[in-house]
Amino acid sequence: MSKGEKSLQQKIVCIPPPLSHTHTSPSSGVFYEQGKLDDAIATYKRALAAEPSFPEAYNNLGNALREAGRHDEAVACYTMCIQLQLRQQQPQMQGGMMGKPALPGAQQAQRLSVAYNNLGGILKMQVCVGD
C-alpha cells in the first residue's frame, strides 16, 4: 500500500458513523479494483462494523469474498444483503396500504436484483464445481 493510500485509508476509517459507510465503501472498491482482496475485505468488514444495516457493503463484501475463493462466506453476505434490502422495503410497501406508493422505486428493485443475481451466480458456480 502506498503512503497516499494508507493516509487516505486512515482518514476514511476515522469518519464517525453514520457517515462511515458512505466513505469507507469507495476505498474498499479501490482495493477491490486493484486486486487487493484482503484489503478490500477488511475495509468492507470495518464499514459493516460501523453500519451493520448497510446492504451494499454486504453485496460488495460478497463480491470480494467470491473473488478470493471464499464462496460460503460470499453466499452469507449476499443473503444478508437481500434480507436487509427486503427489510428496508417493507415500511414502504406497508405505506402503500395507507395511500402512499406501494411499489419500491426502480433503484431499489435494481439493487435487489443485483444481489439476487450475485447469489444465483455463486450458487450455480458451486453446483458446477460439485459435479
Digit-coded pLDDT (tens) for 12-69: 444 434 444 444 456 778 899 999 999 999 999 999 999 999 998 999 999 999 999 9
CATH no. for 3-130:
1.25.40.10
Mean pLDDT of 77-92: 84
Task: Give the DSSP letter of residue 131.
Answer: -
- Identity of residue 76: A
pLDDT (tens digit, 9 = 90+) per residue, 93-105?
A: 555 545 545 445 6
- Would you state the cell numbers that stand for residue 87, as one nine-digit string? 427489510
How many CB atoms are located within 10 Å of the residue 88 CB? 15
CB contact at 8 A, 25 and 44:
yes
Q: What is the dihedral of CA 91, 97, 99, 103, to 10 degrees?
A: 60
Lowest mean per-residue pLDDT among 7-11, 34-38, 63-67, 125-129: 7-11
- What's the pLDDT at 75? 94
Q: Which residue, among 58, 93, 96, has the nearest Cα to 78 in the 3D structure?
A: 58
